[in-house]
């Protein structure tokens, strides 16, 4: 369908580089045709317009860099070469040289438009996050429903999210049950069940149930907003390799200009070249020796890698970390909440005379009155088994020891062995032996007594993440030399978990500053060391590590802000993908640099052999730039 006239302003606004390149191409063809008809005056006028339209942006950028930074860049070199060709054409009345200069401008403009399009593809993959934020929210106040802008929401507001709607801001569910598609945040395609007490995130999609939320933090602090800010920051920060190339370009451009001047002056005296041929070869030299392809070798690749990671729940805060993660030789993991779930669960039960159900019922009756994590694990286990219990009365808790109360007019007690033994007559030997074995494995043992008898013991522990052992095995196969666990927990528990998941080295009973010292020791041995953690106490170690990696969904705000990479889905296996992505990025960057430098050398050889024209030189130069840019976009593929 032919675009309407009203669509052209939008086209120009959205793709000005492409419009300028098309206009320049049309004018070059017209100018060349006018020369064929020998209408020289009209041809020069049309070609002048082609120079202005096609070269305006490059001239502006080049002159701005020269004026503000006192540096030469490739844009200015291209304009100088084109104007040189035009001047030579006017001087020698070889007007087709002016066409050569115009073709140079045209190809440079087309290259800029294609590079812009390639970069837009990368940016669209990242900035798609911006479309995940709602503009308004539906709040409930004084029994009425109101629609308000997101920026007017306050902590404590009640928000209603209907089935199928985009969740407008982070909040805690206070009513309702639903499944929520969190793929935009975590990369997980399977919807997650949400009910009272669960946190939901802005930018995720509600399922079939209605949810009422209570806002517990300002909308601008929502997880999706933090991700957007971090991604925007990543796009503006140049990694070390890019900074090196930019410094190299400044010095290189000066060398090219000086060499170009010498090439334009010396060959007539040293090699008996004609002045026309000398200046023409010097102009071609300015074009083919410019480091455009070298400059395009890095950032498109790294931004593509960042976009790839973002689609799969891996947030790289800048390109430097994408480069560095591929160089990691050792990885240190925090234990609680990283290698483990961070949530206590009932692991074992051992009853004496009564059944396991009765044992768990008595324990739950007392622990339901406690807010201690161990008690919560016991109560949750009883609920999962659909057990009911008689409510305990006259309960009294002793901090760090246990709880005693009455159930059906009988004394019930739950807690540590010494505490329970004060309320019972004798302790079975088999319970003592089993308790010692479980404690040796790093589990917390809870004793239960009722009516002056020991009913049995329960073992509670923070369970290992189901994917932890497999993730660590895959990292070892990937070539990671050392897997280390850092924990503030006791050595016995640490060794038990390390043995289960295959960790190489353990540092236990650590304070936050001790974790930093451990990272420093690893860096002395392995240079590039990653640290994976989720808590506030991990933040100093995350900052010290060569690459700090935070577990996103469970991680504290401090850990998320300090880390260089965030695993949004809390899936350790994504770490392997991050490392592979970093290594792929390194490989593509190296390939691009080698290709760019090789192509410059080849074009220079052809130039001095006299076998290349200015348009062919431009085509080769800009073609190599486009090739390395498109090569970098390979990382957009999964």
Q: Which residue has the tokens 């399977």?
A: 190
Assess whether pLDDT exceeds 50 at residue 6: no
Q: What letter would DSSP give residue 396?
A: E
Q: Between residues 427 and 580, which one has the greater pLDDT?
A: 580
Out of 188-197, 218-227, 316-325, 595-604, the most confident range is 595-604
**170 and 198 in contact (C-beta within 8 Å)?**
no
Read off the pLDDT band of 576 (50, 70, 90): very high
Residue 334 catalytic?
Answer: yes
CB 86 within 8 A of CB 136: no
Q: 214-228, 334-348, 404-418, 424-438 — which one is most confidently predicted on average?
A: 404-418
Tell me what pLDDT residue 187 has: 43
Say which of 73, 157, 334, 534 is annotated catalytic. Answer: 334
Instruction: Cite the DSSP H helix spans in 368-502.
Output: 373-384, 417-421, 429-440, 468-477, 491-501
**134-226 CATH, one of 3.40.50.970, 2.70.150.10, 3.90.1150.10, 2.60.40.10:** 2.70.150.10
Using only C-alpha atoms, what is the Rg of the chain?
A: 34
Task: Give the pLDDT band of residue 632 (cuts 50, 70, 90).
Answer: confident
H-state helical runs in 133-206: 183-186
- In this prediction the pTM is 0.66
Q: Tell me: the pLDDT tens digits for 276-323?
A: 888 888 888 877 887 777 777 887 788 788 888 877 888 887 778 888
- Please give the mean pLDDT across all residues of the chain: 81
Cβ pair 237, 316 in contact under 8 A: no
In this prediction, residue 270 has a pLDDT band, given cuts at 50, 70 and 90, of confident
Give the three-class secondary structure for 425. Answer: coil
User: What is d(CA 333, CA 487) in angstroms, rounded to the nearest whole number?
Assistant: 8
> 388: exposed, middle or buried (C-beta count within 10 Å: 0-12, 13-18, 19+)?
exposed
464 phi and psi angles, rounded to 5 deg: -70, 140
Backbone angles phi, psi at 544, to 5 degrees: -75, -35
Q: Does 132 score more than 80 pLDDT?
A: no
What integer pLDDT is reported at residue 120 of this predicted model? 62
Closest CA to 343 of 171, 486, 460: 460
Query: How far apart, in whole angstroms, are the C-alpha atoms of residue 511 and residue 513?
Result: 5
Q: Do 367 and 375 touch, CB atoms closer than 8 A? A: yes
Q: What is the pLDDT of residues 444-503, one digit of tens each?
A: 899 999 988 899 999 988 888 888 999 999 999 999 999 999 887 778 878 888 888 999
The contacts of residue 594 (CB under 8 Å, 6+ apart) are none
Strand pairing report for 547-551 and 529-533: parallel
CA distances from 116 to 98, 120, 287, 552 (A): 27, 6, 20, 32
List the chain domain ranges: 15-127+236-300+587-636, 134-226, 341-464
| Higher-confidence position of 116 and 20 | 20
Cross-strand partners of 485: 333, 506
Q: Are 483 and 333 in contact (CB under 8 A)?
A: yes
159 pLDDT band, cuts 50/70/90, is: very high
Other C-beta atoms within 10 Å of 441: how many?
Answer: 18
Tokens of 542: 């995350």
- Between CA 43 and CA 29 the distance in angstroms is 10
CATH class of 341-464: alpha beta
Q: How confident is the model at residue 228 (pLDDT cuts 50, 70, 90)?
A: low
Higher pLDDT, 562 or 401: 401
Q: What is the pLDDT of residue 434?
A: 92
Helices (H), 509-638: 512-526, 539-544, 557-562, 573-608, 614-632
């Amino acid at each position: 369908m032919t675009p309407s006239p009203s669509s052209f302003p939008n086209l120009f606004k959205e793709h000005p580089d492409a419009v300028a390149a098309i206009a320049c191409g049309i004018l070059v063809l017209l100018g060349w045709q006018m020369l064929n008809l020998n209408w020289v005056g009209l041809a020069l006028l049309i070609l002048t317009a082609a120079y202005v339209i096609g070269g305006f942006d490059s001239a502006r950028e080049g002159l701005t860099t020269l004026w503000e930074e006192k540096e030469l860049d490739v844009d200015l070199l291209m304009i100088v070469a084109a104007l040189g060709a035009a001047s030579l054409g006017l001087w020698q009345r070889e007007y087709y040289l002016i066409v050569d200069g115009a073709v140079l401008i045209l190809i440079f403009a087309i290259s800029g438009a294609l590079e812009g399009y390639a970069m837009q593809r990368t940016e669209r993959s990242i900035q798609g996050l911006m479309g995940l934020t709602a503009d308004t929210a539906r709040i409930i106040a004084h029994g009425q429903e109101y629609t308000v802008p997101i920026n007017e929401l306050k902590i404590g507001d009640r928000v209603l999210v209907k089935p199928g709607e985009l969740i407008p801001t982070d909040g805690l569910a206070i009513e309702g049950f639903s499944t929520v598609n969190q793929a935009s945040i975590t990369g997980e395609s399977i919807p997650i069940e949400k009910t009272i007490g669960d946190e939901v995130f802005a930018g995720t999609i509600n399922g079939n149930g209605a949810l009422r939320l209570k806002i517990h933090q300002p909308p601008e602090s929502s997880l999706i907003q933090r991700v957007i800010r971090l991604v925007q920051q990543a796009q503006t920060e140049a990694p070390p390799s890019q900074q090196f190339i930019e410094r190299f370009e400044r010095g290189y451009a000066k060398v090219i200009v000086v060499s170009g001047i010498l090439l334009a002056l010396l060959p007539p005296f040293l090699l008996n070249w004609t002045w026309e041929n000398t200046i023409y070869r010097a102009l071609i030299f300015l074009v083919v020796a410019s480091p455009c392809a070298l400059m395009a070798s890095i950032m498109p690749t790294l931004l593509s890698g960042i976009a790839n990671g973002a689609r799969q729940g891996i947030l790289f805060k800048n390109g430097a970390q994408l480069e560095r993660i591929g160089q990691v030789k050792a990885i240190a993991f925090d234990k609680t909440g990283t290698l483990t779930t961070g949530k206590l669960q009932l692991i074992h039960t051992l009853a004496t005379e009564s059944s396991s159900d009765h044992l768990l019922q008595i324990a739950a009756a007392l622990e339901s009155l406690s807010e201690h994590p161990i008690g919560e694990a016991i109560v949750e286990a009883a609920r999962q088994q659909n057990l009911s219990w008689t409510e305990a009365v006259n309960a009294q808790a002793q901090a760090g020891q246990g709880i005693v109360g009455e159930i059906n007019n009988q004394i019930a007690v739950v807690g540590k062995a010494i505490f329970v033994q004060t309320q019972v007559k004798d302790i079975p030997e088999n319970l003592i032996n089993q308790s010692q074995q479980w404690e040796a494995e790093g589990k917390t043992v809870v004793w239960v007594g009722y009516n002056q008898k020991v009913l049995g013991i329960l073992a509670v522990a923070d369970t290992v993440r189901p994917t932890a052992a497999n993730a660590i095995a895959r990292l070892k196969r990937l070539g990671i030399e050392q897997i280390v666990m850092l924990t503030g927990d006791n050595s016995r528990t640490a060794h038990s978990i390390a043995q289960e998941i295959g960790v190489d080295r353990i540092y236990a009973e650590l304070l936050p500053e001790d974790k930093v010292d451990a990272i420093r020791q690893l860096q002395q041995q392995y240079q590039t060391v990653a640290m994976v953690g989720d808590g506030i106490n991990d933040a100093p170690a995350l900052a010290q590590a060569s690459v700090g990696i935070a577990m996103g969904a469970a991680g504290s705000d401090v850990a998320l802000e300090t880390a260089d990479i965030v695993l949004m889905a809390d899936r350790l296996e994504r770490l392997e993908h991050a490392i592979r992505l970093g290594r792929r990025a390194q490989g593509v960057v190296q390939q691009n640099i080698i290709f760019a430098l090789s192509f410059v050398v080849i074009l220079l050889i052809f130039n001095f052999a006299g076998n290349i024209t200015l348009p062919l030189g431009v085509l080769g130069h800009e073609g190599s730039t486009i090739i390395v840019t498109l090569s970098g976009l390979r990382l957009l593929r999964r």
